[in-house]
Structure 1
Amino acid sequence: MRHLFTLLLSLCLPALAQAETHTSAVDLGEHFRALGLRGTFVLYEPASERLQVYQAERAATRYTPASTFKVFNTLAGLDSAAVRDVDEVLPYGGKPQWMKVWERDMGLREAMRLSNVPIYQEVARRVGATRMQAYLQNVGYGNAQMGKEIDRFWLDGPLAISAIEQTQFLARLAQRQLPFSQAAMQATEEIMQIDRSPEYTLYAKTGWAANSQPGVGWWVGWVARQGKLYSFALNVDLRAQGDVDKRIPLGRRCLQALGVL
């Protein structure tokens, strides 16, 4: 398994081919089985460049990022000044939405929490195709393919990213190493925070790619704990409506099992 993972890593992520890689010493499979889910989990510790993975082949496979792209979209919107700040109220467009809570104008702080698709589509349109494509290529985000639909490419494709690549992108964000302004990265981190305790701070975003069967559910982010940083990415097959609500509990179980939460 380790030889397979090293090969996949060298093909998909040349810059990280020398990273120390491990299948997880902890049996994360029991947590996936307990919730009846199939998928992968990746934990990356940038200080040691150590990757721990469950289901290595899937961890290196690219999937549509769906709403996890709201992280990148926030960075692009703020860096380009297409959006003034995370509290600027943006229009949702006035049309009926899949979720009623999306049917009002709001800023990115609230839109991130509610995963408001139409608000973030407005952000992408404001950034524009030329700047968005340049950002994707400069960052090296997944396959960096945008296609022709400026407000759908992260929902329907062709954009795709692997769980491993998600952890690298998020680690660079947490360390302020992305080619965006420091202000944009700080603001994005601020609105991604979902939990805080005396021991750790958790930043995360969900995603649900519904453009395939089965759908793919994401939970990605990072944990700052006692001076250390750990980025993570979970993706799972969504075969039933109830599977959507299992993403965060499963991700938390994995982080706890690995001693991060």
Structure 2
Amino acid sequence: MGTPRTLMAVALLALPISAAAAGAAEPWREEPAVAALFREAGVDGTFVLLDERRSELRGHNRSRAEQRFSPASTFKIANALIGLSLGAVRSVDELIPYTGDANPFMREWLQPMGLRGAMKVSNVPLYQELARRIGLQRMGKAIGRLHYGNEQIGTNVTTFWLRGPLAISAIEQSRFLSALAHRFLPFPRKAQEQVAEITRVDAGPGWSLHAKTGWQNAPGPGVGWWVGWVQKGDQITPFALNIAMAGAADAPKRERLGRSSLQALGILPGPPRGPVLAP
């Protein structure tokens, strides 16, 4: 998938490095058009995309792009991959019963569903059940193999991606997603293909968009994420956005700003779509 030069660039950009050096090895291009979008929205945040053909990072607010935050529900991507790879579920459509609180954040979570449906509605309790099935020891080893963020999961297998200690930067998100999109991760290719499939949220002639929201401390103040990649033929463009969230009114800004940034850089066609309120 891609030319040898592109694949070499991808491999170099995907190398794990420390938080202090995050992004230091790659050229960074600050994009005025993206910075203007953040100013107009009155949002404190960052957007970064990994330009694999130029072997550089492009976006807004490099210092924040290097800063690690809780991944929140963006970790569902890695959680699904680990669960499928280790046999915690047989497929993305295997029904998992609801085991959470009687009054969840979203009523849609109450019904049994598979990883496909749970990804779409960002079903936190279902992915917590998946994490229980994986177990703390196997989860820790898998996250280490992925070099996911700071690789720290603590002692609670159902909350480490929501309340810490796991943390990841926007640049590290883009590297992880690049490796997933190219099927370079050290897990079965079939599992990577299934996760790529259930993260696809939009498509058009010659392109597809894979993405996931996240909201640390939902529904209160915290960090909001929108991460993923755009695929056009053999060209893959991973990206990650995070913003400071004051509350529910900021939830739609994640995808709206992300799409607008991708459009401003010529990666994604068309106008922004409607709001996304999922955590």
Give the structure-1-normalised TM-score: 0.91
Please state whether the residue corresponding to 1:223 is helix, strand or coil: strand
Decide which of 97, 107, 120 is 1:100's aligned counterpart: 107
- Give the 5 Å matches for 1:228-247: 228-247=235-254
Please state whether the residue corresponding to 1:27 is helix, strand or coil: helix
- Give the 5 Å matches for 1:164-179: 164-179=171-186
In the TM superposition, what whole-angstrom CA distance separates every residue of 1:125-163 from its partner, at most 9, and x where no partner exists?
001111100011111100010011101100110000000
Pair 138,11 (structure 1): closer, same or farther in 2 beyond 3 Å: closer
Residue in 2 that maps onto 1:74: 80
CA distance in 1, matches of 2:99, 2:220: 29
Contact kept, 8 Å, 1:70 with 1:112, in 2: the verdict is yes
Residue in 1 that maps onto 2:147: 140
Please state whether the residue corresponding to 2:33 is helix, strand or coil: coil
* Residues 210-219 or 166-175, more deviating: 210-219
Residue in 2 that maps onto 1:52: 58
In the TM superposition, what whole-angstrom CA distance separates every residue of 1:54-76 from its partner, at most 9, and x where no partner exists?
10110000000000000000000
Structure 2 counterpart of 1:219, one-letter code: W
Cα RMSD after superposing both structures: 1.9
Contact kept, 8 Å, 1:10 with 1:17, in 2: the verdict is no
In the TM superposition, what whole-angstrom CA distance separates every residue of 1:198-232 from its partner, at most 9, and x where no partner exists?
03110000000018984100000000124311000
**Number of residue pairs matched by the alignment:** 252
Stretches of structure 2 lacking an aligned partner (at least 5 in a row): 1-15, 269-279
Task: Confirm whether residue 154 of structure 1 aligns to residue 179 of structure 2.
Answer: no
Please state whether the residue corresponding to 2:144 is helix, strand or coil: helix
Structure 2 counterpart of 1:166, one-letter code: Q
Residue in 2 that maps onto 1:6: none
CA distance in 2, matches of 1:89, 1:160: 29
- Give the 5 Å matches for 1:152-231: 152-210=159-217, 214-231=221-238
**TM-fit CA distance, 1:114:** 0.4
Pair 99,125 (structure 1): closer, same or farther in 2 beyond 3 Å: same
Residue in 2 that maps onto 1:35: 41
Residue in 1 that maps onto 2:267: 260
**TM-fit CA distance, 1:16:** 6.3
**TM-fit CA distance, 1:190:** 0.3
Runs (4+) off by over 3 Å: 13-18, 211-214
Please state whether the residue corresponding to 1:216 is helix, strand or coil: strand
CA distance in 1, matches of 2:55, 2:115: 32
Decide which of 81, 85, 91 is 2:91's aligned counterpart: 85
Structure 2 counterpart of 1:105, one-letter code: P
Contact kept, 8 Å, 1:47 with 1:229, in 2: the verdict is no
CA distance in 1, matches of 2:151, 2:219: 19
Please state whether the residue corresponding to 1:28 is helix, strand or coil: helix
Stretches of structure 1 lacking an aligned partner (at least 5 in a row): 1-8
Contact kept, 8 Å, 2:74 with 2:225, in 1: the verdict is yes
Please state whether the residue corresponding to 1:244 is helix, strand or coil: helix
